[in-house]
Amino acid sequence: MRDELIDVLYTYTNAFASDNKPLGAIKVHEVDITLNIDRPYPPVLRRPAYPANPRAREALEKNIQELIQLGVLRKVSHNEEVEVTTPVIIACHNDKSGMVGDFRAFNTYTVPDRYPIPGIQETLTQVYNINGCIERLSPKFFDA
């Protein structure tokens, strides 16, 4: 079982973050989000960006470029209509920064997911029947 788990982890290395690659990206499926309202959407779903200082803007641009490179975000063309926008902030912790979306307004109009994503420990226990085998993966795991 342990060897099978290691094979899966190596196969899907891009899904995991590491020191060299701080964000994982899983591209096997898209998520459909259903809204409980019809078009045209209310103005509250087209929120402007929050003001940011130059340092936060620089960190935000870096995060956005990383997400574009991973294929998580894409640039919107100048003639493309965007129906829903949400502001983001930069959260800094231990000299690292991360982009955080303010989805409060958006979440009030979404239909709840009846099948939420299970936790990693639950998934490993169910799929591989191993409990506590891997508590933490060493960053060296990804240096292969």
- Domain limits of the chain? 1-30+113-144, 35-110
Q: To which residue do tokens 């929050």 refer?
A: 50
Taking CA atoms, 89 is separated from 23, 57, 61, 63, 102, in Å, by: 17, 9, 11, 11, 8
Q: Is 92 helix (H, G, I), strand (E, B) or coil?
A: strand
Is CATH 2.60.120.260 the right assignment for the domain spanning 35-110? no
β pairing state of 96-101 and 88-93:
antiparallel
Residue 126 is predicted with a pLDDT of: 66
Residues 20-49 pLDDT 10s: 766 666 665 567 788 999 999 999 999 999
Q: Would you mind telling me the total number of residues written for the chain in this entry?
A: 144
0.75 exceeded by pTM: no
Distance CA 135, CA 121 (A): 9
**How buried is 105 (Cβ within 10 angstroms: 0-12 exposed, 13-18 middle, 19+ buried)?**
middle
Q: Of 25, 24, 18, nearest to 141 (Cα)?
A: 18
Residues 102-124 pLDDT 10s: 999 999 999 987 777 767 777 76
* Sign of the CA dihedral running 122, 128, 133, 137: negative
Distance CA 48, CA 45 (A): 9
Q: Of 99, 91, 102, 98, nearest to 45 (Cα)?
A: 102
Residue 3 is predicted with a pLDDT of: 83
